[in-house]
Amino acid sequence: MTVTRRAVLGTLLATPALAQTGFPSRAITITVPFAAGGPTDVISRLVAEGMAKDLGQPVVVENTTGAGGTIAAAKVAQARPDGHALLMHHIGHAASATLYRRLPYSVTEGFAPLGIATDAAMTLIARPDFPANDLAGLIAAIREQGDRLNLAHSGLGGANQLCGMLLQAAAGRAMTSVVFRGSAPAITELMAGRIDVFCDQATNTAPFIRDGRVKAYAVTLPNRVQGLDLPTTAEAGQPSIAMSTWHGLYAPAATPAPIQQRLSAALRAALKEERLLARLADLVTVAASEDRATPEYHRRFLAEEVARWRPIIQAAGEYAD
């Protein structure tokens, strides 16, 4: 064996990921930035259950809330990069790169993306007696009335706030923002007629749309959502109001590539579990396709999402710090 080949072999054997044939060696923790019982928590627990079956070790979910998910993200970014500490975060992770001007980590460089897990449509809804009967009418009302209309959201960086930004950008006028501690109180106020407009996950709004307790205009995915008789925003003439509340799984940036691939494979296996698919359908959410649940796609998509939201957030001038 030549000196060069011996040096290369020595380097490979010294790589912890390649030497660590027993991965995972203990329980894996998925940190979730939001409270137990919410959509991100439920999705994470379903994914954890499927991954545990594939990996042969427990996968537990730990809720670490606060600061729009950045506390949880910082915790995982700084964790030992051995594959046993993971993060499940939604679209807000991409938005935080602009919303927070001083983060203790890089959104795109501080993590190893392992794959997209799920997608959920947002729905554009209004109080039951709102005069507009279609999305074009809603846009026209916003253009005419501007800040005389109020728009609910549940905090900076949340999917409903980002969706509201797209709606206001399409109308070219800003509404008055009213912040709630979660979707449930916002929907309650909307149904009571004290809030004009809201944009939120179909997971939360579908029951109220189906029974007519709110006025609904469109869904934000490219395709219609099963069980909701609503056009897409593109079909309704507003293709710029397109987004999904996507969830992605992350490891710390320095996690060795073989471990990243093993975790990603376990994610893809979990997304095929019948129980998970049935429960996601109940949540009006879909599992990501196999080609999207990969590190390569996720890394590229995350960078695209950061770039997409940056000018929208900057134009709105709303920052979390």
**Domains identified in the chain and CATH numbers:** 28-119+245-316 (3.40.190.150), 122-219 (3.40.190.10)
Which residues are CB-neighbours of 225 under 8 A, at least 6 positions away? 121, 202, 219, 284
The residues pairing with 218 across neighbouring beta strands, listed in sequence order, are 124
CB 76 within 8 A of CB 111: yes
**In 3D, which of 270, 250, 222 has the Cα closest to residue 48?**
270
DSSP letters of 27-38?
Answer: -EEEEESS-TTS
Run of H or E residues at 156: none
Q: What is the pLDDT along the chain (321 residues), one digit of tens a residue?
A: 433 343 333 334 434 444 445 899 999 999 999 989 888 999 999 999 999 999 999 999 999 999 989 999 999 999 999 999 999 999 999 999 999 999 999 999 999 999 999 999 999 999 999 999 999 999 999 999 999 999 999 888 889 999 999 999 999 999 999 999 889 999 999 999 999 999 999 999 999 999 999 999 999 999 999 889 999 999 999 999 999 999 999 999 999 999 999 999 999 999 999 999 999 999 999 999 999 999 999 999 999 999 999 999 998 888 888
What does pTM read for this prediction? 0.88
Q: What letter does residue 88 receive in the DSSP assignment?
A: E
For residue 254, give the 3-state DSSP assignment.
coil
Q: What letter does residue 84 receive in the DSSP assignment?
A: S
Using one digit for the tens of pLDDT, what is the confidence trace for 172-228? 999 999 999 889 999 999 999 999 999 999 999 999 999 999 999 999 999 999 889
**In 3D, which of 17, 24, 20 has the Cα closest to residue 86?**
24
Q: Which residue has the tokens 């005389």?
A: 148
The residues pairing with 227 across neighbouring beta strands, listed in sequence order, are none
